[in-house]
Amino acid sequence: MAPPPFYAIISGVGSGTGASLARLFARQSYAVVLLSRKPSSYEPFVAEITAAGGTAIGISADAADPAAVDAAFERIARELPDSKLAAAVYNGHAGMARKPFLEMKLEELETSLKTTANGLFIFAQKTIPLLLASVPSSPHPPTLLVTGATASVRGSAFFSTFAAGKFAQRALTQSLAREFGPKGVHVALAVIDGGIDTPWGKDRVVNNGVEDGKISPDAIAESYWHLHTQPRSCFTQELDIRPYVEKW
């Protein structure tokens, strides 16, 4: 069977959001490409999607390493030669250091900026030309979606380096949205303001452990899908997402 004519790429799988996105885009008949540093982060989802009759490719690459990202896109071109890119999600999470400023190392700032700003920059430079090429044929306006955080819009005490990276990332999404929206590519930021209910975070208590006090990654994926399916006359550039009990 031929692979689907369109694919979605998700950079940063392993977190609950990436896996939920992969499943949802696959259910919607897109091939999915999962990028992650470690194969163990995407292997289970590639297997699951393939077993369900979908098309999934996992590629290990450091999103902040231009050569690794180049190689990843070369491999995609080989493995999905007849598929076009319809949706690109930058879901890389920065190591979120919480620390007094005077204990922060410059390396922590650099790591934060690399995984958020540099990583998105590299990812956008690879995906935007492909998204532009899909404008005439994509079932929905080709979309670049970015996962933000509370720190995208608020520089809290002790989160100096994390906020620096997330603010920088938000600046990039705004600039790209303004430049490429008129060309038919939809660029949007989701400001995730709360803990996500991931398997690996099961024991982390937020909002006093109240039911639904963590964000469902499947629900985040639904919101991303909604953003992707907005027609070009109705683009959302930014939305916030938080659990009903979150203080803000």
Is residue 83 within 8 A of residue 6, CB to CB? The reply is yes
167 sits near a second copy (criterion: CB under 8 A): yes
**Least Å distance between CB 28 and a second copy?**
15
Q: Which element (helix H / strand E) includes 154?
A: none
User: Which residues pair with residue 191 across a beta bridge?
Assistant: 148, 240
230 sits near a second copy (criterion: CB under 8 A): yes
Q: Which residue, 76 or 220, has its beta carbon nearer to a second copy?
A: 220
Q: Which stretch binds a second copy (CB under 8 A): 2-10, 28-36, 53-61, 112-120?
A: 112-120
Is residue 55 within 8 A of residue 78, CB to CB? The reply is no
Within 128-157, the residues that bind a second copy by CB under 8 A are: 128-129, 141, 151, 154-157
**Least Å distance between CB 160 and a second copy?**
4
Q: Which stretch binds a second copy (CB under 8 A): 2-10, 30-38, 44-52, 240-248?
A: 240-248
Q: Which residue, 70 or 74, has its beta carbon nearer to a second copy?
A: 70
118 sits near a second copy (criterion: CB under 8 A): yes
26 sits near a second copy (criterion: CB under 8 A): no
Residue from 84, 166, 198, 228 in contact with a second copy (CB under 8 A) = 166
172 sits near a second copy (criterion: CB under 8 A): yes
Within 51-90, the residues that bind a second copy by CB under 8 A are: 66
Q: Long-range CB contacts (< 8 A, 24+ apart) of 98-104?
A: 98/158, 98/159, 98/162, 99/158, 100/158, 101/158, 101/160, 104/160, 104/161
Strand order in the sheet with 56-60: 56-60, 31-36, 6-11, 84-90, 143-149, 186-192
- What's the distance, Cα to Cα, between the start and end of the chain in Å? 49
Return the closest-CA partner of residue 85 out of 145, 16, 169, 148. Answer: 145
Q: Which residue, 31 or 63, has its beta carbon nearer to a second copy?
A: 63
Residue from 138, 147, 215, 228 in contact with a second copy (CB under 8 A) = 215
Q: Which residue, 28 or 160, has its beta carbon nearer to a second copy?
A: 160
The rounded Cα 22 to chain-centroid distance in angstroms is: 11
Q: Which residue, 20 or 36, has its beta carbon nearer to a second copy?
A: 20
Give 43: exposed, middle or buried? Use CB within 10 Å, 0-12, 13-18, 19+: middle
168 sits near a second copy (criterion: CB under 8 A): yes
d(CA 229, CA 68): 30
